[in-house]
């Protein structure tokens, strides 16, 4: 992850997935930068921890996502319909495919570079060649705290709203409205298949020492479960009343 900064310094830290704390100095009221996520395999949930630089929308456009894309690479954005998860699919096309200019296109082969992906949400990136590749998201780091937009469905693809590894039990993360056995699912690849590490929200009434997120062995999560820019599923039963608020790593 790289930041480009201006004026006044801030001392901040970033937690990596392995739990190591890295201290870095940031300078400016408007901190901008980018994060490259090594997909590691052909399908990867890609998160959006930035907002567009100098823009009034809180997210990034498809044109802000960069990589060595080839024809028919896909970005899939989920939505719910009749209780089922569906996806709007955008493909990377080139002049050789019959479009006027290389870039992202929707299912009607209409240009989709201006499609906005909200900060704190996630999408599926699917490599058409089956090869792993680095995917870079660029933008501005928000200094204020962020409450994720209201969850409109029980299953949501999200990520940290900041370029930090995500620990759902971190002191910088505040939840409200969770119910026992709500889940976070983080994807990984094994033997060519997508699998998920599942974490559940448990309370003292479920037999644990304190309320919080636990792994499959009912051990309290103490380290980040998703790396910087990595998305995950949040599955909640009472979604209309669930809120997730994060404190910025560069908060004043």
Q: Quote the pLDDT of residue 81.
A: 82
Q: Report d(CA 252, CA 242) in Å as an integer.
A: 27
Question: Is residue 68 classed exposed, middle or buried when 0-12, 13-18 and 19+ CB atoms within 10 A define those classes?
Answer: exposed
Q: Please indicate, yes or no, if residue 108 is contained in any of the structural domains.
A: no
Q: Which two tokens stand for residue 35?
A: 């994060």
Cα–Cα distance between 29 and 250 in angstroms, integer? 10
Residue 138 lies in a domain: no
What does the block give as tokens for 206? 């479920």
Distance between CA 15 and CA 165 in Å, rounded? 6
Inside any domain, residue 187: yes
Dihedral angle of Cα 206, 209, 213, 216, to the nearest 10 degrees: -70
Structurally, how many domains does the chain consist of?
1
Q: What is the pLDDT of residue 228?
A: 94
97: in domain: no
Q: What is the pLDDT of residues 103-119, one digit of tens each?
A: 999 999 999 999 999 99
Residue 9 lies in a domain: no
Distance of CA 81 to the CA centre of its chain: 22
Number of Cβ within 10 Å of residue 33's Cβ equals 19
Q: What is the mean pLDDT of the chain?
A: 86
For residues 91 and 113, give the distance between their C-alpha atoms in angstroms, rounded to a whole number.
11
- The model's pTM is 0.83
Q: Does some domain include residue 18? A: no
Query: Is a pLDDT exceeding 50 seen at residue 25?
Result: no
Render pLDDT for 127-162 as a digit per residue (tens, 0 to 9): 998 887 889 998 999 999 999 988 988 999 999 999
Interacting residues of 84 by C-beta distance below 8 A, sequence separation 6+: none
Predicted local confidence at residue 39, as pLDDT: 75
CA distance 160 to 230: 8
**Higher-scoring residue by pLDDT: 236, 132:** 236
Interatomic CA distance for residues 49 and 140, integer angstroms: 9
Q: Which domain holds residue 153?
A: 146-246
Residue 124 lies in a domain: no
Token look-up 């870095």 returns: 24
Is the pLDDT confidence value at 10 over 80? no
Percent helix, strand, coil in the chain, to 5, is 5, 45, 50
Report yes or no on 141 lying in a domain.
no
- The span from the CA of 35 to the CA of 26, in Å, is 16
Task: Report the distance separating Cα 188 and Cα 198, nearest Å.
Answer: 11
Cβ-proximal residues to 28 (8 Å cutoff; 6+ apart), any chain: 5, 6, 7, 8
For 82-101, what is each residue's pLDDT tens digit?
A: 878 889 999 999 999 999 99
Spatial strand order of the sheet with 74-81 comes to 43-47, 122-126, 74-81, 84-93, 103-105
């Amino acid at each position: 992850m790289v930041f480009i900064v201006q004026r006044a310094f801030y001392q901040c830290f970033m937690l990596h997935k392995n739990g190591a704390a890295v201290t870095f100095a940031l300078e400016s009221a408007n901190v901008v930068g980018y994060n490259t996520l090594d997909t590691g395999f052909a399908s990867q949930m890609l998160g959006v921890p930035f907002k567009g630089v100098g823009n009034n929308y809180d997210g990034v456009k498809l044109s802000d996502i960069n990589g060595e894309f080839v024809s028919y690479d896909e970005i899939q954005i989920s939505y719910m319909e009749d209780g089922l998860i569906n996806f709007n699919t955008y493909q990377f096309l080139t002049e050789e495919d019959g479009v006027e200019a290389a870039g992202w296109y929707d299912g009607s082969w209409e240009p989709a570079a201006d499609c906005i992906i909200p900060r704190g949400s996630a999408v599926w990136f699917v490599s058409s060649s089956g090869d792993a590749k680095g995917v870079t998201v660029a933008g501005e780091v928000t200094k204020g705290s962020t409450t994720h937009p209201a969850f409109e469905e029980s299953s949501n693809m999200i990520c940290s709203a900041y370029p930090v590894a995500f620990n759902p039990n971190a002191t910088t993360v505040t939840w409200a409205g969770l119910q026992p056995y709500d889940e976070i699912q983080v994807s990984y690849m094994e033997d060519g298949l997508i699998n998920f590490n599942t974490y559940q929200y448990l309370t003292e009434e479920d037999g644990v020492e304190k309320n919080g997120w636990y792994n499959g062995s009912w051990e309290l999560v103490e380290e980040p479960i998703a790396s910087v820019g990595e998305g995950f599923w949040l599955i909640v039963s009472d979604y209309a009343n669930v809120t997730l608020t994060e404190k910025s790593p560069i908060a004043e």
